[in-house]
Amino acid sequence: MEAYLGIDVGSVTTKFAVLDSSDELIYHLYLPTQGRPIEMVQYGLGQLRGELPSGVDICGVATTGSARYLAGVIVGADLVKNEITSHALATLHFIPEVQTTIEIGGQDSKIIIIRDSVVIDFGMNTVCAAGTGSFLDHQALRLNMSIEDLSQQALKSKTPVRIAGRCTVFAESDMIHKQQMGHRIEDILYGLCQALVRNYLNNVGLGKDIRPPIVFQGGVAFNQAIVKALEEELKSEVIVPPHHEVMGAIGAALLVHEEMAASQNGSKFKGFGVSEVRYRTSSFECKACPNLCEIAQIALDSQILARWGGRCDIWERSPEGKG
């Protein structure tokens, strides 16, 4: 069976999606990154090897996400693509009429504005945690409850309290204050969900022309309280697509299928055996110019496989850093 693999390596989770030749999802995997992207990519490939039906031939691999270059080197990617393109294509695959895509992950969030199946604008938040999943995870941990319990409790709210959510530090102080005042925990939790939505729209969504159909994807879309808060704030239905948590990986697989169909070359995929290879990563400061870029590198034994991270491509072009 001809198949295409998309890998989305984020700071919190690592996602895998395998599509067949008709672009139907035949297998997906959702793993915690745990600060170990190489090990999680290798572990995921090991899982795929054991779960995919015999006879599946991986004809193309693409990587996306914050660690896409690192993952691309490890697996032998045919395509390395940014998250905006990957998420947009996956959304269009499931909901062709989409005009706005909202994606909220563990450490960052995005908005993608689409008109007539073309991305015309986007915004990203990679700095402030108050508009991301970690905002809720931290409070759930403080209250000794799972994120699933937080969502279910928040949905019971009848009179939510307003939480100052422009900053995670202020939000936590405000939550403690509201608890001390005697407000019900479900009202505080739903107020927290509303705060996350307000922060997202006031930062990532600021100045964006948000029109329906609105699609919500990413790991935080599991949280029905956030879906409800988004619908209330936007005064519109919010669609959560199937497999919303692995949309970046699905988009990457769709892109590489298109890429390989237009190419006469075979895939560079190194095979599932790379799950057993021991790689080593390190970094150094480039002193070729006053920018002093931090260059990341990955090695196998004593051989440098790739370097990246500079403002110019001096290290990408030559391992020795020469033009």
Q: What is the DSSP string of 59-80?
A: EEEEEESTTHHHHHHHHT-SEE
Using DSSP's 3-state secondary structure scheme, residue 103 falls into strand
End position of a domain, from candidates 212, 240, 268: 240
Looking at the structure, do residues 227 and 110 belong to the same domain, yes or no? yes
Residue-number span of the structural domain to which 283 is assigned: 279-317
For residue 189, is it within any domain? yes
More confident of the two residues 108 and 208: 208
This prediction has a pTM of 0.85
Tokens 């021991």: give the residue.
278
Pair 130, 153: CB distance under 8 Å: no
Give the pLDDT of residue 237: 96
For residue 322, is it within any domain? no
292 has a pLDDT exceeding 70: yes
What CA–CA distance (Å, rounded) separates 36 from 26? 26
- Quote the percentage of the chain above a pLDDT of 90: 43
Give the pLDDT of residue 128: 60
pLDDT digits (tens, 9 = 90+) for 174-222: 777 887 888 888 998 898 889 888 888 888 888 999 999 999 998 888 8
More confident of the two residues 91 and 74: 91
Tokens 């991270």: give the residue.
309
Q: How many other β-carbons are positioned within 10 Å of the β-carbon of residue 105?
A: 25
Looking at the structure, do residues 205 and 115 belong to the same domain, yes or no? yes
For residue 118, is it within any domain? yes
Burial class for 116, CB neighbours closer than 10 Å (0-12, 13-18, 19+) = exposed
Looking at the structure, do residues 105 and 220 belong to the same domain, yes or no? yes
Looking at the structure, do residues 116 and 65 belong to the same domain, yes or no? no
For residue 312, is it within any domain? yes
Structure tokens at 70: 């690192």
What CA–CA distance (Å, rounded) separates 112 from 22? 26
**Residues 14, 19, 23, 26, Cα dihedral to 10°:** -110
302 has a pLDDT exceeding 70: yes
Element (H, E) at 38: helix 37-51
106 has a pLDDT exceeding 60: yes
Of the candidates 291, 318, 308, 312, the residue with the CA atom closest to the CA atom of residue 66: 308
Looking at the structure, do residues 15 and 139 belong to the same domain, yes or no? no
Using DSSP's 3-state secondary structure scheme, residue 43 falls into helix
Q: What is the CATH number of the domain that holds 126?
A: 3.30.420.40
For residue 323, is it within any domain? no
For residue 305, is it within any domain? yes
For residue 9, is it within any domain? yes
pLDDT digits (tens, 9 = 90+) for 111-123: 999 999 999 999 8
Give the pLDDT of residue 279: 83
What CA–CA distance (Å, rounded) separates 96 from 161? 37
For residue 204, is it within any domain? yes
Burial class for 161, CB neighbours closer than 10 Å (0-12, 13-18, 19+) = buried
Looking at the structure, do residues 122 and 252 belong to the same domain, yes or no? no
How much is the average pLDDT of 9-17? 90
Number of structural domains in the chain? 3
End position of a domain, from candidates 240, 261, 289: 240
Looking at the structure, do residues 68 and 102 belong to the same domain, yes or no? no
How much is the average pLDDT of 90-101? 96
Element (H, E) at 47: helix 37-51
Structure tokens at 267: 């895939």
317 has a pLDDT exceeding 70: no
How much is the average pLDDT of 99-116? 90
Looking at the structure, do residues 253 and 142 belong to the same domain, yes or no? no
Looking at the structure, do residues 141 and 221 belong to the same domain, yes or no? yes
How much is the average pLDDT of 130-145? 76
Looking at the structure, do residues 128 and 227 belong to the same domain, yes or no? yes
What CA–CA distance (Å, rounded) separates 229 from 233? 6
How much is the average pLDDT of 233-246? 94
Looking at the structure, do residues 56 and 179 belong to the same domain, yes or no? no
Give the pLDDT of residue 323: 42
Looking at the structure, do residues 148 and 271 belong to the same domain, yes or no? no
User: Per-residue confidence at 135, pLDDT binned at 50, 70, 90?
Assistant: confident
